[in-house]
């Protein structure tokens, strides 16, 4: 990331004028410890914000025009109402989508200039899109004095992604990016949006990320199909038991599933969701007791369920997890939407050097391109950076 004066200089190079009304905001990326592919089914998730981030500088304008500059793509664009999806600048859709959602709630958004720059690897499963949505929702509501809570900003970000970008994501990413807290993960009930912070100290262990460098685009992936498969399974359950309102609360023994007439795919999806619920309960319990060998065991179970039952992994992330498991790392699993992206690893800090060298070598040999390792810190959610 450039130092702050460089960022302001870049803004003035693009937009000219004076520096004194420019404000600076930052939103983090996220990891998810457990609770994968359940946040659109009313499930419990356990994410945390991390110190990769996206930043913006914003300055209100006298007229109604909205001019955006992406430093990463070196592209400047004006977005005009009624907003349309942009072929040339798809990154601007996340911003237009958030403005559209704010306006449909009755808030008026005057003109502004905005510079955006980030270091969240894109397509790596670390939620660069949700970070941009929350960044825009938070900065616009702060600058234009719109009274919104952090959970409300998260919901606006999710709606922008569902309605404008067309990716039917759940609420987890936007919620933790809006509400994250340094050194804590949060357990979020995605049905009620109630949440609790959990402090955890890994002691001699650490979490780190391995990027498979297989870029996923959730917009074009099977993500929306998985959601539909879960919805059709729920519809079949409801026909027999209308009291079940979400798939996550479905807890009938498998021997009784025959009556629902699930397809083979629906059966596999339901197995993932119901077993993930039990793993999540166990991890929330064991994380606070400091039994990291046990936490790690559930991470591996989660991965293989995502791979075999939910079918959102890929050969490359499976291989990374297999190699880590064979080497005796405490735990590992793909995170986020899947179809590539990052693997979250839990292991002893002392093991990192040897493990990473070996993993790098065998992955390169097998696939012909490298993995990338990221260390990170658990950080706060979206915030304004005040310059004195
Ligand atoms: C993506 C979505 C989230 C969630 C995860 C899978 O990150 O944006 O809402 O569904 O995938 O858990």
* Domains of the chain: residue spans and CATH: 4-201 (3.30.230.10), 205-375 (3.30.70.890)
CA of residue 158 to ligand 1 center, whole Å: 11
- For residues 44 and 387, give the distance between their C-alpha atoms in angstroms, rounded to a whole number: 38
Burial environment of residue 18 by CB neighbours within 10 A (0 to 12, 13 to 18, 19 or more): exposed
Task: Tell me the CA–centroid distance for residue 11 and ligand 1, in Å.
Answer: 32
Where do we find the tokens 């790392």?
329
Q: What is the DSSP letter of 339?
A: S
Catalytic residue among 51, 72, 147, 173: 173
Tell me the per-residue pLDDT of 123-174, one tens digit each, with 9 for 90 and over: 899 999 999 999 999 999 999 999 999 999 999 999 999 999 999 999 999 9
Interval between CA 320 and ligand 1 midpoint (Å) = 20
Q: Which atom from ligand 1 is nearest to the alpha carbon of 170? A: 9
Query: Taking 80 as the threshold, does the pLDDT of residue 220 lie above it?
Result: no
- pLDDT by residue (tens digit) across 253-308? 889 999 999 999 999 999 999 999 999 999 999 988 889 999 999 999 999 999 99
pLDDT at 252: 83
170 lines ligand 1 (CB under 6 A): yes
Distance 114 CA to ligand 1 centre (A): 27
Residue with the larger pLDDT of the pair 189 and 20: 189
Q: Is the pLDDT of residue 193 over 60?
A: yes
Residue bearing tokens 């880590």:
324
The model's pLDDT over 373-383, given as tens digits with 9 standing for 90+, comes to 999 999 999 99
d(CA 336, CA 306): 11
Best of 29, 37, 38, 273 to mutate for ligand 1, by most ligand atoms within 8 A of CB? Answer: 37
Secondary structure element (H or E) that encloses residue 27, with its range:
strand 23-32
Q: Where is 233: in which H helix or E strand?
A: helix 223-240
Nearest alpha-carbon partner for 115 in 259, 9, 248, 206: 9
Report the separation in Å between the CA atom of 174 and the middle of ligand 1, taken as the mean of its atom positions. 10
Whole-number Å distance between alpha carbons of 192 and 271: 23
Report whether residue 36 contacts ligand 1, using a CB cutoff of 6 Å: yes
* Percent over 90 (pLDDT), the chain: 91
Pocket test for ligand 1, best of 38, 169, 247, 272 (most atoms within 8 A of CB): 169
Annotation says 173 is catalytic: yes
Q: Is the pLDDT of residue 3 over 80?
A: no
Counting from 1 in the atom list of ligand 1, the atom nearest the Cα of 127 is: 7
């Amino acid at each position: 990331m450039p130092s702050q004066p460089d960022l302001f200089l870049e803004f003035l190079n693009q937009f000219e004028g004076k520096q004194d009304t420019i404000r600076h905001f930052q939103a983090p990326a996220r990891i998810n410890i457990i609770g994968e592919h359940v946040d659109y089914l009313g499930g419990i998730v356990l994410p945390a914000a991390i110190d990769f981030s996206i930043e913006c500088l914003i300055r209100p304008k006298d007229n109604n025009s909205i001019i955006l500059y992406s430093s990463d793509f070196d592209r400047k664009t004006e977005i005009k109402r009624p907003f349309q999806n942009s072929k040339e600048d798809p990154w601007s859709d996340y911003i237009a989508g958030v403005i559209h959602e704010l306006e449909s709630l009755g808030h008026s958004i005057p003109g502004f200039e905005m510079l955006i720059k980030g270091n969240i690897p894109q397509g790596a499963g670390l939620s660069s899109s949700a970070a941009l949505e929350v960044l825009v929702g938070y900065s616009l509501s702060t600058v234009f004095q719109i009274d919104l809570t952090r959970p409300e900003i998260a919901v606006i970000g999710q709606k922008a992604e569902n309605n404008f970008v067309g990716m039917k994501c759940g609420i987890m990413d936007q919620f933790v990016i809006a509400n994250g807290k340094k050194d804590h993960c949060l357990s979020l009930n995605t049905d009620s949006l109630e949440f609790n912070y959990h402090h955890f100290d890994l002691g001699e262990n650490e979490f780190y990320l391995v990027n498979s460098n297989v870029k996923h685009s959730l917009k074009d992936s099977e993500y929306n199909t998985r959601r539909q498969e879960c919805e059709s399974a729920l519809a079949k359950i409801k026909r027999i038991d209308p009291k079940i309102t979400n798939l996550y609360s479905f807890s009938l023994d498998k021997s009784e599933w025959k009556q629902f007439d699930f397809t083979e795919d629906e059966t596999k999806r339901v197995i993932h969701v119901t077993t993930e619920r039990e793993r999540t309960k166990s991890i929330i319990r064991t994380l606070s007791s400091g039994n990291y060998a046990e936490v790690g065991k559930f991470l591996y179970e989660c991965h293989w369920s995502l791979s075999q039952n939910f079918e959102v992994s890929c050969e490359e992330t499976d291989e990374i997890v297999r190699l880590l498991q064979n080497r005796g790392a405490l735990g590992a699993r793909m995170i986020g939407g899947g179809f590539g992206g990052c693997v979250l690893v839990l292991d002893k800090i002392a093991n990192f050097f040897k493990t990473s060298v070996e993993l790098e070598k065998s992955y390169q040999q097998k696939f012909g391109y490298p993995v990338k390792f990221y260390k990170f810190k658990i950080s706060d959610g979206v915030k304004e950076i005040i310059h004195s």
